[in-house]
Amino acid sequence: MSPNHMDSLSSRIQQVTPSLTLSVTNQAKALREQGEEVYGLAGGEPDRDTPQFIKDAAIAALQDGKTKYTPATGVPELKAAIAQKLATENGLNYSADQICVTSGGKQACYNAILAVVEEGDEVIIPAPYWVSYPEMVRLAGGVPVIVETQESNKWKITADQFEEAMSPRTKMIILNTPGNPTGIVYSAEELKSIGEVATYEDIIILSDEIYEKLVYGETTHTSIGSLDEEIANLTVTVGGFSKAYAMTGWRLGYTAAPKEIAEAIAKIQGHTSSNATSFAQYGAIAALEEAGNAFIDEMRAEYDVRRQFMLGKLREINNISVVEPQGAFYFLVNCTQLGISSVNLCDKLLSRYKVAAVPGIAFGHDKSIRLSYCTDFEVLNEGITRFEEFCQSH
Ligand SMILES: Cc1ncc(COP(=O)(O)O)c(C=O)c1O
């Protein structure tokens, strides 16, 4: 009999749950392998391929022998290009040595948390939240403090709620704008009032801006670190290439942080993964050039059409509710009136209606499900029609 290793596992890892978003994708995949047609509204990545000019830059780097270790925090040209982008597009003043290129936005968030969170430190996380934040905090030995936001306030944490959730152990707050799973985008005023509370109490802000390029209509993206110097001194900005340039498989993101935190992040990365893939970094340099903007504009326009289509369809269903998302590529659908748990709901939706969605419990909101529109129009149309039938049958 093989030994049971449960006793050997660290207490930190035993507190952590596997990623539910990945598990839904796997279930849908298994059904497809059995020959079933599945309408996938559970995805978390652009349904496009990486633009050719980005691939070409990486291929050229590979051919050119850029196959060795790079500095742990990234090649200087890429760090300079990121610093330049943050200055011109986001109004953020970071020098290249405050940037750390990481293997995806995920690693960027985790590095930032590991750099500042001590055993027992509390980290405020507004719910619904991106699935990995609480688990990252636990892995770092910290304590996630979940603050439930209200649909009536468009799923945004207020400065008052932030203040109420604080304790002497509060070390960090995690903000995500545009947000996953809600698609909400904080305004400059909202961020300013949250930032003021943070500066008053010296709370580090982890600002995850991975969806910054996907904002629709009149909405604009604001980086909290651009609002004033005091806020900037407490902010670690996370960005990445996955969502904006359809580069999820490349694993490229970055942190931009105040000097001491940037040095700590560099140490962590130096002792764990070292640099993000060398030739991939050259692809990222190309992405930040002018042609990258044309790709983003085109993708954003297409996603906006899908977003509006889906909003119209969802608003016709009378026993659910949605807040209009202004960014990312998700809808958080409030299914309270259907009266079943989100896991149960998604199981039924998948097994009976062949529609894949992500249960809200993964995001700390068990009364909802997440539907994404990073899929083609036919799938979207059929998926949402089937979802409507499902809702009508309840
Ligand atoms: C809010 C948020 N942050 C970070 C990430 C991680 O991105 P990456 O694929 O670059 O690691 C994701 C990916 O889904 C996300 O939704």
- Whether 103 lines ligand 1, by a CB cut-off of 6 Å, is no
Quick one: pLDDT at residue 394? 85
Domains in the chain with CATH codes: 7-49+292-392 (3.90.1150.10), 52-291 (3.40.640.10)
* Residue to substitute in 106, 109, 212 for testing ligand 1 pocket (most ligand atoms within 8 angstroms of CB): 106
Q: Which pLDDT score is estimated for 1?
A: 53
- Give per-10-residue mean pLDDT for the chain (394 aa): 79 84 80 92 94 98 98 98 98 98 98 98 98 96 98 98 98 98 98 98 98 97 98 98 98 98 98 98 97 96 97 96 98 96 93 95 96 95 97 92
Atom 16 in ligand 1: residue holding the nearest Cα:
180
Ligand 1 centroid vs 175 CA: distance in angstroms? 13
Cβ of 255 below 6 Å from ligand 1: no
106 lines ligand 1 (CB under 6 A): yes
Probe residue for ligand 1, chosen from 135, 136, 243 as the CB with the greatest number of ligand atoms within 8 Å = 243
Please work out whether the CB of residue 242 comes within 6 Å of at least one atom of ligand 1.
yes
Say what the pLDDT of residue 82 is. 98
Ligand 1 centroid vs 44 CA: distance in angstroms?
A: 8
Question: For position 296, what pLDDT does the model report?
Answer: 97
Among 19, 210, 247, 358, residue to substitute to test ligand 1 (most atoms within 8 Å of Cβ): 210
pLDDT of residue 2: 63
Q: Which pLDDT value is given to residue 17?
A: 83
Predicted pLDDT of residue 335: 97
Mutate to test the pocket of ligand 1, among 19, 100, 110, 180 (most ligand atoms within 8 A of CB): 180
Residue 94 backbone zone (phi > 0: left; psi -120 to 50: alpha; other: beta): beta
Any atom of ligand 1 within 6 Å of the Cβ of 253: yes
Question: What distance in angstroms lies between residue 45's CA and the mean position of ligand 1's atoms?
Answer: 9
Check if 240 has its Cβ closer than 6 Å to any atom of ligand 1: yes
Measure 179 CA to ligand 1 centroid, in angstroms.
10
Q: Whose CA is nearest to atom 7 of ligand 1?
A: 105
210 CA to middle of ligand 1, Å? 6
Q: What is the pLDDT of residue 18?
A: 77
327 Cα–ligand 1 center, Å = 14
